[in-house]
Structure 1
Amino acid sequence: TGPIFGPIQGILFGPVAFITIPIGCVIAGSMHDYFSGMISMRNGGAQMPKLIRKYLGNKVIKAYNFFLWILMFLVGVVFVYTPGDLIVTQVLSQEAAVSNPTVWIVYGLIFLYYLVATLFPIDAIIGRIYPIFGGFLILSAVGIFAGVMLDGGANLTNLSFSGMFSQHPQKLPFIPVFFITVACGIMSGFHATQATLISRTIKSEKEGRTTFFNMMLVEGFIAMCWAAGAMVLFGRGTDMTTAPTIMVGLVSKTFLGPIGGMIAIIGVIVLPITSGDTAFRSLRLMVAEQFNIDQKVSRNRIITTACLFVPAVFVLYYAKSSPQGFNILWRYFAFTNQFVATFALATISVYLYITGKNYLVSLIPGVFYFFVTLSFIFHAPIGLNLDKLVGMEGSYTASYALAALFCVGYVLFVRKHSTTQKDQILNNVIS
């Protein structure tokens, strides 16, 4: 749901989304995924934490692991919430309200699947049909694209680029909120953890462009199609406050019909569940490694998993019971996702610098997203609420200024570390 929910909400910023999503996907998201996978291949299939330790040092890895744990937890929670609500609203045709017991039954079944997948290699069996649902998702995006062009295109002719950065109905600032909102539609830090896993399955570096770079371009295309579909419906009068789960159903059934729409919805349901499964399993292994918990024993796996699921249930309950619960959950998830990506971009920059390549291709996106994520969390009530604390409520001035200072530090660190630690990094062979 990442490249779907984010763009649906991001399109509220206006047609500028049709410029920033494809450009950002090419110069940031696809580049991030490509180099993460390729650098892993050149380090014997090493996973991202080991790459962070090698290229950024022992101090940075501690911060990275902290935010990575949070990201994996939030990915798991979000990918229970969104597919669960889609099942309730679009498949069962019920209201996804906190008081509806069906919602909690569906959530419970998803958690049960995660538990079973943790104890048994069920993913090895079900994984064989995952590509089918991936195909559904791509075909549904193509169908929505065709529908927008053939039918809904008329509703896109009155788009205005006047005041292109200030069209959000709530007047939210384009930077940083747009990039936090769209999240996976442009770049995802979670992808780096998966690209390094996939790198172990690739036979030749020649496959890297197709596997890493082009696949993120496909995700960007999917994001654009769903954003366009949502904009058409908003142009026809759909309430702009409509929940993303409802918008998925409206877009699917409007452009693909009842049968095609339901197939698309099923694809949107299944794929995030697979990501949530991966996230919780990865987090369980990280926690077990940190605290030396033997995961070969089933009892230990169950206890470790339960320790993750219990707080996840509390977060889910808050997200369902609070009027702004999902928006808050999504923004924490999106912030963490983009912030984790800045670590990978710094790693890529150091790698390119010490190998004599043009490191600016990753450093510039890294600095930009460092600025976006920090200015957002400095300003947001769910963060430091900095501007309000200094008497500048309603403005991002203080947050922008502080984030800019941190960005200077980001650049200086990459340059200094690349220069002073070059020989040590080159001689460090990951085992």
Structure 2
Amino acid sequence: MILFIIGLFILIVGGYFYGKFCEKVFGPDDRETPAVKLHDGVDYVVMKDWKNKLIELLNIAGTGPILGPIQGILFGPIAFLTIPIGCVLAGSLHDYFVGMISMRNDGAQVPKLVSKYMGNGMNKVYSVIIWILMLLTGVVFIYTPGDLIVNDILGMDVNSSIIWIVYAIILIYYVVSTIFPIDQIIGRIYPAFGAVLIISAIGVFIGILRDGGANLYNITNTGLLFSTHPEGQRFIPVFFITVACGIMSGFHGSQATLISRTVEKENQGRGVFYNMMLAEGFIAMIWAAGAMILFNRGTDVSTGATAMVGIISREFMGTVGGLFAIAGVIVLPITSGDTAFRALRLMIAEQFNIDQKSPQKRVTLSLVIFIPALVILFFAKSNANGFNLLWRYFGFTNQLVAVFALAMITVYLKTHNKLYWISLIPALFYTFIVSSYIFHAPIGFGLEARFGLDPLSYTISYPLAAVCVVLFYLLINKIAKNRQESILVADKLK
């Protein structure tokens, strides 16, 4: 329990002071924001500060900060430290600077920001990866809430025909929320969704406090901070790929840029972007603690993360309260899936200069997006290992996208003579994480297994990842230097 409390202290107090530090580094001012300057009644709309905060939280908090920590806690109580530290130093920083840099660039989506600060070549690579991530995110967030509704609310088999009816209803909502102006659908129903989310999170948190920490200890008693993972997985990099959204998520960049178009004043940015990621870290801490308590009470550690959601909810909130908590978990992916598709529409429109004021063009582009989404959903549901494969690629691309965003932030800060190391350090760390993971994992290169080494070792993957870190550092410095020189030339020509 002490470690859990320390983690919450780091998250709240550390987040408060480091958030103010990040705000000072960026330097918000009184200039007109895109919501005011470019108001169009569709995507550029001024919304109230509290509503922007709530929408941002619901946009970024999918099933990741719940399913990820439930699986991540199998590595041990170390999660109670890594989640808040990572959230403060990396995740919240990522969300804040992406949102604020977007506001300084007329609410541009991340691909356009990457193009501006890192070049067209990098933008082409990034655009393909982010489009794939948005598509995978949307599909995952049809699949997971649909299964939770059928299994935990309706009490039916997730493989029954009813599942496709539920999927269809969720998809219809996504289509509507993607096409209509942001304040007409999302801005109106999210407050109700937010109430469900907050009440369910508080309910589980009270249950954890009621337990008194009696069961918040190392699952396998192999050390103070670490547990032996049931599958023998290495803490680095697997923990950071597994927990992902509770610490840092590249997906969040696409959501911050959406809200950058509805924020009235720049000084509201820290509350909207930085603090809402802290709130997601709090949610991750709660579900990690709930899972640890039940695992230590005897729940089988091999129980799937989705099944654990229902078990944790009913254990800490009773039958009725448990259903309410499950409803909160269902709300999370639905309120991330709709904006994932919306962000994808805006990214493609921005890339190909497709006017989104026209309802006909919004509908046409949305159809182009939803057709491949349906194909992927059908594959994931009809294939025995389809969803597991989908989730692994989703987790990897999510962190890879975050690395691109951190690199963009670093170049931005360096070319504006600001403290760029605050984004460079997490960028280098996550470069090592994603590189070592994809070199080692079966869904990637599987190098150790390929060369007949211990499949759980990282004998080859770690050294190669270290080389990638060095190359990444040199690349960022080169890009920043070239941009600085371009700015100097442009200034001389004025």
Same fold (TM over 0.5): yes
The percentage of aligned residue pairs carrying the same residue is: 61
* Counterpart selection for 2:241 from 180, 191, 197: 180
CA, structure 1 residues 324+419, in 2 after alignment: closer, same or farther (shift >3 Å)? Answer: same
Which of residues 396, 399, 405 is equivalent to 1:335?
A: 396
Report the counterpart of residue 161 of structure 2 in structure 1: 101
- The corresponding residue for 1:417 is 479
Structure 1 contact 15–161 (Cα < 8 Å) conserved:
no
Match of 2:214 among 154, 160, 182: 154
Q: Distance in 1 between matches of 2:489 and 2:189?
A: 42
Paired residues of 2:258 and 2:343 also in contact (CA < 8 A): no
Does the 8 Å contact 1:342/1:370 carry over to 2?
yes
- Contact 2:250 2:398 (8 Å CA) reproduced: yes
Classify the secondary structure of the residue corresponding to 2:185: helix
In structure 2, relative to structure 1, the CA distance for the partners of 1:190 and 1:246 (3 Å cut) is same
Match for residue 149 of structure 2?
A: 87
Query: How many angstroms does 1:306 deviate by?
Result: 4.2
Residue 65 of structure 2 is matched in structure 1 by 3
What's the counterpart of residue 267 of structure 2?
Answer: 206
Contact 1:371 1:403 in 2 (8 A): yes
Deviation at 1:152, TM superposition (A): 5.8
**Number of positions where the alignment pairs a residue of Structure 1 with one of Structure 2:** 427
CA distance in 1, matches of 2:393, 2:480: 31
Q: Indicate conservation of the 8 Å contact 2:139/2:373, yes or no.
A: yes
Q: Distance in 1 between matches of 2:490 and 2:223?
A: 53
Q: RMSD between aligned alpha carbons?
A: 2.5
The one of 321, 325, 339 aligned to 2:386? 325
Contact kept, 8 Å, 2:177 with 2:185, in 1: the verdict is: no
Aligned residue in 2 for 1:344: 405
Q: Which runs of 5+ in 1 are unaligned?
A: none
Provide the residue aligned with 2:176 in structure 1.
Answer: 116
Structure-1 residue corresponding to 2:27: none
The one-letter code of the counterpart of 1:113 is: Y
Give me the TM-score of the superposition, normalised by structure 2: 0.80
| Residues 272-317 of structure 1: CA deviation (Å, up to 9, x unaligned) | 2122122223324444565677767767655544443343334333
Contact 1:130/1:271 (8 A) holds in 2: no
Partners of 1:118 and 1:419 in 2: CA distance: 39
**In structure 2, how many angstroms separate the alpha carbons of the residues matched to 1:356 and 1:308?**
40
Aligned match of 2:459: 397
Q: Which residue of 1 aligns with 2:431?
A: 370
- Structure 1, 150-159 or 13-22: larger mean CA deviation: 150-159
In structure 1, which of residues 134, 143, 153 is the aligned counterpart of residue 203 of structure 2?
Answer: 143
In the other structure, the counterpart of 2:421 is 360
> Structure 1: how far apart are the matches of 2:356 and 2:462?
45
**Aligned mates of 2:72, 2:125 — CA distance in 1:** 29
Task: State the one-letter code of the partner of 1:218.
Answer: A
Preserved contact between residue 10 and residue 181 of structure 1 (Cα < 8 Å): yes
> Partner residue of 1:270?
331
Partner of 1:385: 446
Q: Distance between the aligned counterparts of 1:239 and 1:186, measured in 2?
A: 25
AA in 1 matched with 2:208: V
> 1:11-50 counterparts in 2 under 5 A?
11-50=73-112
User: In the alignment, which residue of structure 1 is the partner of 2:59?
Assistant: none
Paired with 1:262 and 1:187, the residues of 2 have a C-alpha distance of 28
2:76 and 2:203 map into 1 onto residues whose CA distance is 22
Matched residues in 2 for 1:300 and 1:208: separation? 31
Farther off after superposition, 152-161 or 285-294: 285-294
CA contact (8 A) 1:180 1:335 kept: yes
